[in-house]
Amino acid sequence: METQGPGEGALAGAFARLDAAWGVSLADVRRRPGPPTVLFSGGVDSGLLAWELRGEQGATLATIGLEGSNDLRAAAESVRSLPTPWQPVVVRPRDLEGIRADAAAAFPGMRENLALGLAALLRFAPSGTLVCGQGADELFLGYAHFRGLPPSEAGDRADTDLAKLRVVDWPATEALAARWGRVVSAPFLHPEFVRAARAIPLDDRLPRDRPKELWRAWARHRGVPPALAGRPKRALQYGSGIDRWLRSITTH
């Protein structure tokens, strides 16, 4: 049986709050040095960023992955609906070997596949302020571990995930970026946007027939082409091919 999401009135109110906060968050991105480089996987989170920043002077979309990776294929399809120049960045195994120690030191306790994926984005993306989609899955319950949880458990898990991201993982990301002479921005983590998102009742943000349905609806409301707003999520470490590569070198 199909579960019900928020009614039209509640949806309009939630979207109005998100719109207002989003304007503040984007203004912060535009104050950063250099043109924005959106770390673009072809999914809805980075697709929304690409759509909103498509008119910025010098804006670029960049996708990082091993040759033949899902993210490179998905991004090549998704950019057809976007006017912004796109730069695929194919990393080689030796490139990843060169930053494994840096990734492990920067993100202690994080799974190596994810830590290495984050480090690869920061190290190999083109120049410019790197704009990434961190925060959307924590705020709109996009991770697989939210599926099937009762509301109270989902809410607690979302709070824990968001706190870890804001207090531990995001500061570590900024520090590693700075070490490599990069500036990184996460518009979904702007305090105004976090407050607006968390003001939406948890029941309206729960996974239903498809993860992040309210988030996807807001992306369509913002003008993101439906094909891009509806793309399925694939985690960085898997979409980039990094998890597959790590498993290949640890089993031989």
- Residue-wise pLDDT for 74-107, tens only, equals 999 999 999 999 999 999 999 999 999 999 999 9
Calpha distance 4→209 (Å, rounded):
9
Structure-block tokens of residue 210: 């498809």
Tell me, what DSSP letter sits at residue 109?
T
pLDDT tens-digit readout, 46-68: 999 999 999 999 999 999 999 99
Whether residue 180 has pLDDT greater than 90: yes
Q: What is the pTM of this model?
A: 0.92
pLDDT greater than 60 at residue 202: yes
Give the separation between CA 138 and CA 168, rounded to whole angstroms: 14
**80/200 Cα distance (integer angstroms):** 33
Q: What is the pLDDT of residue 11?
A: 81
Looking at residue 252, its pLDDT comes to 56
DSSP code at position 65: E
97-102 contact pairs (CB < 8 A, 24+): 99/123, 102/176, 102/179
- Give the tokens for residue 24: 């503040």
Cα-flanking dihedrals φ and ψ of residue 38, to 5°?
A: -80, 125
Q: How far apart are CA 249 and CA 241, in angstroms?
A: 13
Q: Above 90 in pLDDT, residue 207? A: no
CATH classification for the domain delimited by 8-250, as one of 3.40.640.10, 3.20.20.70, 3.40.50.620, 1.10.260.40: 3.40.50.620
3-state SS class at 4: coil
SS3 129: strand
Question: Domain residue spans in the chain?
Answer: 8-250
Q: State what percent of residues in the chain have pLDDT above 70.
A: 95
Higher pLDDT, 197 or 10: 197
pLDDT for residue 9: 57
> What pLDDT was estimated at residue 10?
63
Interval 245-250 mean pLDDT: 92
